[in-house]
Amino acid sequence: MKVSFNFLVRIIGMIVLAWVGQQVGIALSDQPPSTTQELAIQLLTLAGAGLGLLTTHHWTITPIQRSYAYARSISIEDLVALSMGALLGLFFALLLAIPLGYLPSPLGQFLPLSAALLLGYGGAQLMLGRRKELVEVLRSSRAPSFVVPPQLLDALGQQRRYLLDTSAIIDGRIAQVGESGFLDGKLIVPRFVLNELQLLADSSDELRRNKGRRGLDILNDMQKAGDIPVEIIDSELNSGEPVDDRLIALANQQRCPLITNDFNLGRVAKLQGVQVLNLNQLADAVRAPVIPGQDIQVTIRDTGREREQGISFLADGTMVVVEDARKLVGREVSATVTRIHQTQTGRIIFAHMAGNGKR
């Protein structure tokens, strides 16, 4: 037979109160008790047993259940405020317990307990009323995340780690940057980035397929060259999230910079506290300067959007828009730079045919 916890508590309460009733009857009777007093003792014992059986759950289980329900219903801010206030009140009650204990009986016995109950309740109510200010203080005093300086990592003999994005691998310049020695550490390629490269390599679209194969070839060449270590790691992050979100989460988890050419990914990562290294920005920083008025030799590759424009590219991939060169596709021409337009993804150089009198 299955016995409920409520029934067990009632039985225990019945036994305890029956014993209390019996002791009260014995204390009030003569020694030895008379027949009437013995009957009174039995009645008090039965009364205590009945009272315990009927009411024990009301002053044991019910208050606990209500307290638990109340604790689950209040917000975490209220719970923290109540706990801190009660602990603060009990601390002051502990300080008062020593002098109050020296008071004559019965004050020395009851006042310390009364002070603990009163100060604990008062502290909890006080902190509950000022919970908003308390939460603000806790948030403002929260210590920032500890970031190990690269110098300390070097002193401990640990290599610095860099997380590689798919776009940075496909771009290919990361191999030359690694060979140059500007990156001192280890390149990390998550398994989900490798899977993305494989999906691109298996794509039916020729352009996507070439990008995926190029990325896989670059990784293989970098591992064989050994100029900078390349490590493939497995991540336990949620596979249902987009690759960009998992990259940012992994960069935060590993506390390492993210190397990418994706401008939007870099911007979102910076907002979440990730250090971003953009190869396009690095190329802009070390690019030989081109200034207005400078003559350059370019080959017209395509026609522009506007009338009579020809499109060319410098060796580093910078787009050059040449006026009056629409009919010169495939020919090398001399052009004079007129202005340079800086965009979020790079620079565009505007020029006109040299010697046509336009300045």
Structural domain ending residue among the three candidates 284, 301, 316: 284
Residues sharing a CB contact under 8 Å with residue 38, sequence separation 6 or more, in sequence order: 29
Are residues 154 and 277 located together in one domain of the fold?
yes
Domain-located, residue 70: no
Residues sharing a CB contact under 8 Å with residue 332, sequence separation 6 or more, in sequence order: 297, 298, 299, 300
Are residues 81 and 129 located together in one domain of the fold?
yes
Structural domain ending residue among the three candidates 284, 313, 342: 284
Are residues 242 and 280 located together in one domain of the fold?
yes
Are residues 279 and 158 located together in one domain of the fold?
yes
Give residue 143's pLDDT.
47
Domain-located, residue 66: no
Give residue 64's pLDDT.
85
We report the CATH number of the domain holding residue 314 as 2.40.50.140
Are residues 278 and 311 located together in one domain of the fold?
no
Q: Is the pTM of this model over 0.75?
A: no
Q: Which of 74 and 53 is assigned the larger pLDDT? A: 53
The alpha-carbon radius of gyration of the chain (Å, integer) is: 40
Structural domain ending residue among the three candidates 256, 284, 312: 284
Are residues 157 and 265 located together in one domain of the fold?
yes
Q: Residue 19: pLDDT band by 50, 70, 90 thresholds?
A: very high
Domain-located, residue 322: yes
Q: Which whole number is the average pLDDT over 321-332? A: 88
Q: Which whole number is the average pLDDT over 79-107? A: 84
Give residue 156's pLDDT.
47
Are residues 181 and 297 located together in one domain of the fold?
no
In the DSSP assignment, the letter for residue 347 is E
- What total number of domains does the chain contain? 4
Q: Which domain holds residue 302?
A: 291-353
Q: What is the pLDDT of residues 271-284, one digit of tens each?
A: 988 889 888 878 77
Place of tokens 């870099």: 266
Are residues 246 and 162 located together in one domain of the fold?
yes
Q: What is the pLDDT of residues 222-236, one digit of tens each?
A: 888 877 888 888 876
For residues 49 and 72, the answer to whether their CB atoms sit within 8 Å is no
Are residues 343 and 228 located together in one domain of the fold?
no
In the DSSP assignment, the letter for residue 29 is S
Give residue 46's pLDDT.
92
Q: Which whole number is the average pLDDT over 224-249? A: 81
Are residues 225 and 342 located together in one domain of the fold?
no
